[in-house]
Structure 1
Amino acid sequence: MSHFVLAAGGTGGHMVPAHALAEELLKRGHQVALITNERGTRFPGLFGGVDVHVLPAGRLSGGPLGWLRAGRAILAGRKMARQLYDEFQPSAVMGFGGYPALPALLAAFKAKIPAAVHEQNAVLGRVNRLVAGRVAAVATAYPDVQRVPGKAEAKVRLIGNPVREEVLALRDKPYPALDEDGVFRVLVTGGSQGATILSDVVPEGLGMLPPVFRTRLQVTHQARAEDIDRVRAAYAGHGIPAELATYLPDLPERLGRAHLVIARSGASTVAELAAAGRPAILVPFAAATDDHQTFNAKELVAAGGARSIPQSRFTPVELAKQMQKMGLDPEALANAARRAKSCGRPDAVRDLADLIVEIGA
């Protein structure tokens, strides 16, 4: 039995893959500890059986004063991580990006503990770029990842993005049958925080569909709390049955029933679409760092499993047009589902666990 430390920033994109790896390592009989920030403790249902440690971590922004505050927080976090390592004696440390991972990785370098990073996006994030030259391996989710430093290119290992077991189980289930007169289920999700632009555009876009198509729709829409009432009213105004929620604890089940997904192209979303084999219309978040969501969508789009609409062109008219192209031909939609599934990497969590065990040995 070995001990491993996982370090992840407090967003769903970092926390979900870290959780999947923790579960796999626990199944193998290892002990796992998590280093994160306050936000990372707020995700329900994650990291059962794992010791969670909240460490200070500064964000390198805000000019000289901001950098100074960040530097102090990072040094304090590194000191606390070293104390944890002295007690826990980890064989290896795996960082998942985000500033909360930085003190843990710096402490690993100082203590000469083998370390690796996992990059969920198709553009290497700032913290992972900063440490890429010093880690033993850079695990990636896509064959083509932007902004990998030259000195780290030889360390790149294509792993994929680990997804929850409930999502992975959908690979063994067929794409739901879609009769020409049957119900057409649409799942709308903007990630863990929802997305106001989806709430603004999707109800109006679906309302523009021909009646023969619109009357078949059944929508599940994850939205921000402040948007829910107006979004519910918009669907009702178009006569479209819709279920609204700020959080979907049964998201894997909803994904399994969906014929089409309309979503952001965050790393976890794209990985789950590919794992389950569900066609999608993706709207990359325009303000994402290094425009990484546009790059995240590329593999799925190139395979024919999704369509991507830039946020600047995401209008009700454009959505209605793309919906009709994808939704009015059941065979084309089933084919898109197969193409999406071809991009899945179902062994990602196993391969990532093998990697951390390997470098820890």
Structure 2
Amino acid sequence: MISRHYVLAAGGTGGHMVPAHALAEELIARGHRVALVTDERGARIPGLFDGVQVHILPAGRLGGGPIGWLKALKNILAGRAMASRLYETFRPSAVVGFGGYPALPALLAAQRDGIPTLIHEQNAVLGRVNRLLARRVDAIATSYPDVQRLKPRHLDKVHLVGNPVRDEVLALRDQPFPALTEDGIFRVLVTGGSQGATILSSVVPDGLGMLPEHFRRRLQVTQQCRAEDIEEVRARYAGLGIPADLATYMPDLPERLAWSHLVIARAGASTIAELTVAGRPAILIPLPSATDDHQTFNAREMARSGGARMIPQLAFTPVELAKQMQKLGLEPEALANAAERAKGCGRPDAAKDLADLVERMSQTPALVGPEEVAFRPVPAGGAMA
């Protein structure tokens, strides 16, 4: 087995970092060495990239008029120079970008230094940084068969691999859908992403409270809430007599997903990937302010398959939620069928397929030692907030 060095570059949100982490684990399992380039937020996310060298780059956030663009350009150039210093000693065989502004200087440096580059797009709409880089990279890995904002002239270097998920979620694919009888406990998981979602806190309790009594009495709810909403939501569920376990953060989310019969959630890329790999039916409420409305496009494949119901936020009312809940939940066979349809959209081999692509695009590894370059401290105001 040939051992190579790889640099992964990702912005500091879970949507970028989780698939990068999954790829890192797969590459390390194959005997390769990995370094991560990210921002301060990414370096602080717990449970990711343990034992991997992490480098924080200054990265300009594009926008803010002429002054903002000038500042961004200054930071991008500084980040590119720092990345090139890393490459001089780490000698990567390829650099893989996962979107987010820290990926931009890392990939620009690789392209200037003649190192193969790939980008991975988690959403069904090509993100801003990936759009800037699409023309110059050697390969584009996608998570959906149909990706918006991807120019036709770039299609010859597109590879559909899916969106890598954590091993704990991947393990759920081999588990059966939780047994459900007409009178059995009906477990609902409500999650709005890493920060929760106030709209879910305001609508879901009232919607569940409108269900027929025989259905409502079967409910057991686990819900992620914002800290400022949690006590009000707890009081609302108590008043309705619905058992509810509420938290602002769920480190054991894969375990909770394992025994859930239905998920009510936003339509972020990682959420969709986990639902479809695990095979869990869902009611999806895309975030309307998401860039290029990408969450609506994310949800379409799952909704069209019958694995999910998609409700636009403007139409997301307690009445509509109760109606969709009854359509999905009153017949155990219908719910199990939706679970199978959701699973049919999953791409459980995403991490392996992406790693295969990365290896195919790699340069012959240089025979270098394990020395690493240390980045100089970023000047005040230089790192991306």
| 1:175 pairs with one of 174, 177, 180 | 177
Q: Secondary structure at the match of 1:233?
A: helix
Letter in 1 for 2:108: L
State percent identity of aligned pairs. Answer: 73
Unmatched segments (≥5 aa) in structure 2: 364-385
1:98 aligns with 2:100: yes
Which residue is equivalent to 2:20?
18
Which residue is equivalent to 2:376?
none
| 1:140 pairs with one of 139, 142, 159 | 142
| 1:221 pairs with one of 220, 223, 233 | 223
Whole-Å Cα distance in 1 between the matches of residues 210 and 352 of structure 2? 44
| 1:265 pairs with one of 257, 267, 272 | 267
Off by >4 Å, runs of 4+ in structure 1: none
Residue correspondence of structure 1 range 70-81 to structure 2 within 5 A: 70-81=72-83
| 1:329 pairs with one of 307, 328, 331 | 331
Whole-Å Cα distance in 2 between the matches of residues 11 and 267 of structure 1? 12
Which residue is equivalent to 1:343?
345
The alpha-carbon deviation at position 43 of structure 1 amounts to 1.3
Letter in 1 for 2:122: Q
| 2:203 pairs with one of 201, 208, 216 | 201
Question: For the Cα contact (< 8 Å) 1:133–1:149, is it kept in 2?
Answer: no
| 1:279 pairs with one of 264, 278, 281 | 281
Which residue is equivalent to 2:234?
232
Computed over aligned residues only, the root mean square deviation of the Cα atoms, in angstroms, reads 0.7
Whole-Å Cα distance in 2 between the matches of residues 150 and 331 of structure 1? 42
| 2:88 pairs with one of 82, 86, 89 | 86
The alpha-carbon deviation at position 193 of structure 1 amounts to 1.2
Letter in 2 for 1:192: S
**Higher RCO (C-alpha 8 Å, min separation 6):** 2
Whole-Å Cα distance in 1 between the matches of residues 121 and 294 of structure 2? 11
Whole-Å Cα distance in 2 between the matches of residues 92 and 46 of structure 1? 21
Whole-Å Cα distance in 1 between the matches of residues 193 and 75 of structure 2? 29
Whole-Å Cα distance in 1 between the matches of residues 339 and 195 of structure 2? 26
Whole-Å Cα distance in 2 between the matches of residues 33 and 255 of structure 1? 31
Which residue is equivalent to 1:2?
4
**Structure-1-length-normalised TM-score:** 0.99
Which residue is equivalent to 2:251?
249
The alpha-carbon deviation at position 151 of structure 1 amounts to 2.7
Letter in 1 for 2:196: G
Which residue is equivalent to 2:371?
none
Whole-Å Cα distance in 2 between the matches of residues 136 and 23 of structure 1? 23
Whole-Å Cα distance in 1 between the matches of residues 260 and 300 of structure 2? 22
- Which has the higher mean CA deviation after the structures are superposed, 56-65 or 115-124? 56-65
How many residue pairs align between the two structures? 361
**Structure-2-length-normalised TM-score:** 0.93
Whole-Å Cα distance in 2 between the matches of residues 195 and 269 of structure 1? 14
1:68 aligns with 2:70: yes
Whole-Å Cα distance in 2 between the matches of residues 105 and 256 of structure 1? 37
Q: Secondary structure at the match of 2:50?
A: coil
Query: 1:283-318 CA distances to partner (integer Å, 9 max, x unpaired)?
Result: 000000000000000110111000000011111111
The alpha-carbon deviation at position 246 of structure 1 amounts to 1.0
Query: 1:12-55 CA distances to partner (integer Å, 9 max, x unpaired)?
Result: 11000000000001111100000000110121110012111011
Q: Secondary structure at the match of 1:360?
A: coil
Unmatched segments (≥5 aa) in structure 1: none
Query: 1:48-81 CA distances to partner (integer Å, 9 max, x unpaired)?
Result: 1211101111110111111111111111111111
Whole-Å Cα distance in 2 between the matches of residues 4 and 26 of structure 1? 10
Whole-Å Cα distance in 1 between the matches of residues 5 and 340 of structure 2? 39
The alpha-carbon deviation at position 171 of structure 1 amounts to 0.8
Whole-Å Cα distance in 1 between the matches of residues 144 and 94 of structure 2? 23
Question: For the Cα contact (< 8 Å) 1:10–1:39, is it kept in 2?
Answer: yes
